[in-house]
């Protein structure tokens, strides 16, 4: 006897063709959404939240756009996740990975309609992805051993990454900032040591790189404004116990003199604590919490610079950079590790005063101060710079470099086409489809620049049939240009991550033949 109904009332299921259609359409819609942000002439999106404050974000970073979307379609969620992973892993290529996955699914849809089994398509895609990767590996350039050339490569990569972002007007300036900051890291990918401070005002051109550490605080009243050879104690402790802290406590006294005694006792307790801290032999005390007037006065008398309420990011980073540890008890000074730096002074940026620590232990540390017209502009500039820093720090480790501007896609498409001709059976259709999907990236770059993409891509394909061609799309002049001359480069690691993530995501969505949406669990079911 057939079961009429398996699921509860609110649960729904989509089977076979309809499930596949829903997946394909969702994924393609997401790809079309971010498609217009791809390339140097890509446009930005405004994201407005409906929550309190209606905050507005202006961005063209694929991962940021997709992260802010609330999506119902399960296949679209897969694409959002791969762009997040791409952002965490290599920092750039977040839009490309979604566009490529969307195109692979668009091609797969045509093949499925032509009665080719999804598994056949998947195995074809697998072969094509492997072939593409090998094609890129043959063409990579590695200048790790030649420091001058390697630095030039890094500059080119930074400028290429920034050219599709808001910083494209001053890309040389920012590329130099990013390369200098990453070169200081000496091969570590820990971007914690690079601090980015955003100060509205001025123009983007006025941004600068400062070695050392800048803390966004003012120096207190009556304290030394400049300290040389500073010994710094970084702490997270309450410095406001000169008041009675027991809430709701009743203290009965028979005269005012007794109240005064209690206050004196409290003050003594505080004085002891301050004395313990000063006994560490320090001349700068940075605290996460408030420091009240009385202890501040004591520190000032002892000639110690006391900085209060340094936010947690600030003190964590300060401890890391000066080589100290965060302390909360001060009974045995010998076990506390102090931080050191050569000079602490107050500097002005725009209207604000900040504290500048220079000559710090960790020579890798530096601060990039961004200036700009508005907070939205600064947020987007920070995201762009972060992308560039991520890509550069990855490239320092894996120094293989490719040309950019649609060149890698054409190289891969050519190799994949050749593979399709050699492969017998239905898989060859899938392999051919893969090469069409790859060509979609240069096509989109040209479309976004308002160029005739069909004409350009056809010229590009003809150029690539010559041996050792370095042709790509030159968006500025609007024709096929020589990428090596224009200095447009990309990191191999980014391209490889885009290729593999997009193929795997497309494969995952292709395998779906049923979507079951569960009913929400009711309260009374739990009884």
In this structure, what token pair is assigned to residue 185? 């890291």
What's the pLDDT score for residue 502? 93
Residue 377 CA to residue 58 CA, distance in Å, equals 8
In this structure, what token pair is assigned to residue 115? 């009665």
CB-based burial of residue 131 (10 Å sphere; 0-12 exposed, 13-18 middle, 19+ buried)?
buried
Residue 191 has φ and ψ, to the nearest 5°, of: -85, 5
Could you please report the per-residue DSSP string of 16-52?
HHHHHHHHHHHHHHHHHHHHTT-STTPPPEEEE-SSG
In this structure, what token pair is assigned to residue 77? 């969620």
- Yes or no: say if 50 and 29 are a contact pair by the CB < 8 Å rule: no
In this structure, what token pair is assigned to residue 227? 């300290």
Residue with tokens 């200095």: 487
Residue 325 bridge partners (DSSP)? none
Residue 480 has φ and ψ, to the nearest 5°, of: -80, 125
Q: What are the tens digits of pLDDT across the range 392-415? A: 888 888 888 998 888 999 999 999
What's the pLDDT score for residue 432? 94
Q: What are the tens digits of pLDDT across the range 453-472? A: 899 999 999 988 888 888 88
Q: Quick one: pLDDT band at residue 439, thresholds 50, 70, 90?
A: very high
Could you please report the per-residue DSSP string of 326-390?
EES--S-GGGSPPEEEEEEEEEEETTEEEEEEEEESSTT-EEEEEEESSHHHHHHHHHHHHHHHH
> Average pLDDT in the 142-157 region?
86
What's the pLDDT score for residue 270? 81
Of the spans 264-268, 293-297, 502-506, which averages the highest pLDDT?
A: 502-506
Torsion of CA 260, 263, 265, 267, to 10 degrees: -130
- Yes or no: say if 131 and 467 are a contact pair by the CB < 8 Å rule: no
Max CA distance (Å), the chain: 103
- Yes or no: say if 492 and 135 are a contact pair by the CB < 8 Å rule: no
In 387-506, the DSSP E strands lie at: 400-403, 471-474, 479-482, 489-491
Q: What are the tens digits of pLDDT across the range 276-323? A: 888 888 888 888 787 777 778 888 888 888 887 776 666 777 777 777
Is pLDDT at 365 greater than 90 in this prediction? Answer: no
> For residues 39 and 500, which has the higher predicted lDDT (pLDDT)?
500
Domain spans in the chain, listed from the N-terminal domain onward? 12-141+403-513, 213-362
Among 351, 304, 380, 330, which residue's Cα sits nearest to residue 37? 380
Specify the fold of 12-141+403-513: GROEL; domain 1 (1.10.560)
pTM over cut 0.75: yes
What's the pLDDT score for residue 2? 55
Q: Quick one: pLDDT band at residue 419, thresholds 50, 70, 90?
A: very high
Residue 435 CA to residue 162 CA, distance in Å, equals 27
Q: What are the tens digits of pLDDT across the range 5-54? A: 777 777 778 887 888 888 889 899 999 999 999 888 888 889 888 877 77
Among 32, 183, 164, which residue's Cα sits nearest to residue 98? 32
In this structure, what token pair is assigned to residue 503? 């193929």
Q: What are the tens digits of pLDDT across the range 189-203? A: 677 778 888 888 888
Residue 122 CA to residue 101 CA, distance in Å, equals 13
The CATH architecture one would assign to domain 213-362 is: 3-Layer(bba) Sandwich (3.50)
| Residues taking part in catalysis | 61, 94-95, 387
In 373-513, the DSSP E strands lie at: 400-403, 471-474, 479-482, 489-491
Residue with tokens 């080119």: 156
């Amino acid at each position: 006897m057939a079961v009429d109904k398996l699921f509860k009332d609110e649960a729904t299921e989509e089977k076979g063709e309809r499930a596949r259609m829903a997946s394909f359409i969702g994924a393609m819609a997401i790809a079309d959404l971010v498609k217009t942000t791809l390339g140097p002439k890509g446009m930005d999106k405004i994201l407005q939240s409906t929550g309190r404050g209606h905050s507005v974000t202006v961005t063209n970073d694929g991962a940021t756009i997709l992260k802010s979307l609330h999506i119902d379609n399960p296949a679209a969620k897969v694409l959002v996740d791969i762009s997040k992973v791409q952002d965490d892993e290599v920092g750039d290529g977040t839009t490309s990975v979604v566009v490529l996955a969307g195109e692979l699914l668009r091609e797969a849809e045509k093949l499925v309609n032509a009665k080719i089994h999804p598994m056949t398509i998947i195995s074809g895609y697998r072969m094509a992805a492997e072939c593409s990767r090998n094609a890129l590996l043959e063409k990579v350039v590695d200048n790790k051993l030649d420091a001058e050339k390697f630095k030039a490569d890094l500059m080119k990569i930074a400028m290429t990454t920034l050219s599709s972002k808001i910083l494209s007007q001053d890309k040389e300036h920012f590329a130099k900032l990013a390369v200098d900051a990453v070169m200081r890291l000496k091969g570590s990918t820990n971007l914690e040591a690079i601090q980015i401070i955003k100060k509205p005002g001025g123009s983007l051109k006025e941004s600068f790189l400062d070695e050392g550490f800048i803390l966004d605080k003012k120096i207190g009243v009556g304290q030394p404004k400049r300290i040389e050879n500073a010994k710094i104690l970084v702490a997270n402790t309450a410095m406001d116990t000169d008041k009675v802290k027991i809430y709701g406590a009743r203290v009965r006294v028979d005269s005012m003199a007794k109240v005064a005694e209690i206050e004196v006792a409290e003050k003594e307790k505080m004085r002891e604590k301050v004395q313990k801290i000063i006994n560490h032999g320090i001349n700068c005390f940075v605290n996460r919490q408030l420091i009240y007037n009385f202890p501040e006065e004591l520190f000032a008398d002892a000639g110690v610079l006391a900085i209060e309420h340094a936010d947690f990011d600030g003190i964590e980073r300060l401890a890391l950079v000066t080589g100290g540890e965060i302390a909360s008890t001060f009974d045995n000074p010998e076990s506390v590790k102090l931080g050191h730096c050569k000079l602490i002074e107050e500097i002005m940026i725009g209207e604000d005063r900040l504290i500048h620590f220079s000559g710090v232990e960790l020579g890798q540390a530096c601060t990039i101060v961004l200036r700009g017209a508005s907070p939205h502009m600064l947020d987007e500039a920070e995201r762009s710079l972060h992308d560039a820093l991520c890509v550069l720090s990855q490239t320092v480790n894996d120094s293989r470099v490719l040309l950019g501007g649609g060149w890698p896609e054409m190289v891969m498409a050519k190799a994949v086409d050749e593979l399709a001709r050699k492969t017998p059976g239905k898989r060859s259709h899938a392999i051919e489809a893969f090469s069409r999907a790859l060509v979609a990236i240069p096509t989109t770059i040209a479309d976004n620049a308002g160029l005739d993409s069909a004409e350009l891509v056809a010229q590009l394909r003809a150029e690539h049939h010559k041996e050792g061609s370095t042709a790509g799309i030159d968006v500025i002049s609007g024709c096929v240009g020589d990428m090596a001359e224009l200095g447009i480069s990309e990191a191999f690691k980014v391209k490889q991550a885009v290729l593999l993530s997009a193929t795997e995501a497309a494969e995952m969505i292709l395998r779906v033949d049923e979507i079951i949406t569960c009913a929400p669990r009711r309260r009374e079911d739990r009884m």
